[in-house]
């Protein structure tokens, strides 16, 4: 079984909990996720099964859309509602125009400090481990991109928002830093992931639904196959000779190509090492490899092969 599953993660479970449960349900060891959701958060998580786990360099870097709620008035040590207050509560809140002006500063290309309680590492250890041990450490700002940061509800001390951001963005940090800018403190109280790239929460499945489909031996009802992944990349159909070359990681020459088809989707996908990437299929249209242009320019060099026979 190879492909990805769109899972709706409930509250109080970690992303690893989801992976562990999918392993048990499908009885497959090779399972991984393409982007962590905090235990407090709910919503869409992409889970790779079998050979699809090798697509991590692509699917983990897709843009994401979240909806959430912040609580104005005080900050916490974890930057969310599960943490301990680190400031006195303030009951004087900014007006809507002041809030909107502050939010606009977070759109575009910015540097963000990761939360002290996060999986980011310092000298080989996760920050959350060092924070719990009360050990000192330094965090390095990470460059992220915020496509939009919109106010969707204003009822202080709670404010609702939607944000579309690049991979690696911590919404908790946005809430914390916005509270500092406003002078009243803030923390994240609710969060749900709505989209990962072209994938939507509305198309996701609960763990119980995966159990039901699996027990009925109906994986096609929940599994997105390898052939449907990365539709933003051009598709190349190879002849038999080209397919054998690709499966052995050898270069593909023009004579090996039967057809070149345009991308099936217009949404951009992160490319490997900033080079154009192509999906390679055999004559039966089975996905066999990813490739990029070779040094000479008129050949293709496979770099991720999923079919070897």
Active site residues: 38
Distance CA 214, CA 241 (A): 37
Give bridge partners of residue 146 from the DSSP assignment.
108, 165
Among 34, 28, 21, which Cα is nearest to 230's?
34
Give bridge partners of residue 191 from the DSSP assignment.
68
Residue 50's contacts (CB-CB under 8 Å, 6 or more residues apart) are 1, 2, 3, 28, 30
3-state secondary structure of 139: coil
Residue 42's contacts (CB-CB under 8 Å, 6 or more residues apart) are 8, 9, 10, 11, 191, 192, 193
Contact 45, 64 (CB under 8 A): no
Q: What is the DSSP string of 244-305?
A: HHHHTT--B-GGGEEEEE--S--S--PPGGGS-EEEEE-TT--EEEEEEE-TTSSSEEEEEE
What sign for the dihedral angle of Cα 21, 22, 27, 33?
Answer: negative
What sign for the dihedral angle of Cα 2, 229, 301, 298?
Answer: positive
CA max distance for the chain: 72
Among 141, 136, 153, which Cα is nearest to 177's?
141
CB-side neighbour CA atoms (13 Å) of 44: 23
Contact 125, 132 (CB under 8 A): no
């Amino acid at each position: 079984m190879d492909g990805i599953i769109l899972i709706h993660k409930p509250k109080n479970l970690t992303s690893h909990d989801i992976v562990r449960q999918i392993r048990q349900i499908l009885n497959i060891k090779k399972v991984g996720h393409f982007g962590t959701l905090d235990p407090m958060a709910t919503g869409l998580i992409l889970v790779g099964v079998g050979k699809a786990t090798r697509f991590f360099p692509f699917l983990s870097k897709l843009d994401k859309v979240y909806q959430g709620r912040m609580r104005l008035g005080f900050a916490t040590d974890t930057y969310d509602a599960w943490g301990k207050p680190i400031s006195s509560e303030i009951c004087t809140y900014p007006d809507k125009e002041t809030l909107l002006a502050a939010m606009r500063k977070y759109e575009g290309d910015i540097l963000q400090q990761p939360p002290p309680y996060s999986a980011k590492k310092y000298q080989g250890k996760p920050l959350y481990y060092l924070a719990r041990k009360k050990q000192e450490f330094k965090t390095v700002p990470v460059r992220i991109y915020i496509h939009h940061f919109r106010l969707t509800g204003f009822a202080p001390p709670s404010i609702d928002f939607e944000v579309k951001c690049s991979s690696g963005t911590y919404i908790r940090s946005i809430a914390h830093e916005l509270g500092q800018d406003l002078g009243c403190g803030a923390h994240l109280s609710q969060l749900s992931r709505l989209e990962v790239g072209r994938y939507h929460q509305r198309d996701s499945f609960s763990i119980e639904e995966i159990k039901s489909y699996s027990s009925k031996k109906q994986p096609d009802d929940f599994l997105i196959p390898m052939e449907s992944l990365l539709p933003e990349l051009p598709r190349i159909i190879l002849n038999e000779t080209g397919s054998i070359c690709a499966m052995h990681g050898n270069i593909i020459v023009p004579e090996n190509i039967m057809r070149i088809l345009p991308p099936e989707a217009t949404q951009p996908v992160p490319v490997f090492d900033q080079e154009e990437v192509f999906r390679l299929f055999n004559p039966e249209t089975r996905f066999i490899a990813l490739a990029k242009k070779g040094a000479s320019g008129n050949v293709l060099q496979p770099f991720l092969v999923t079919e070897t026979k």
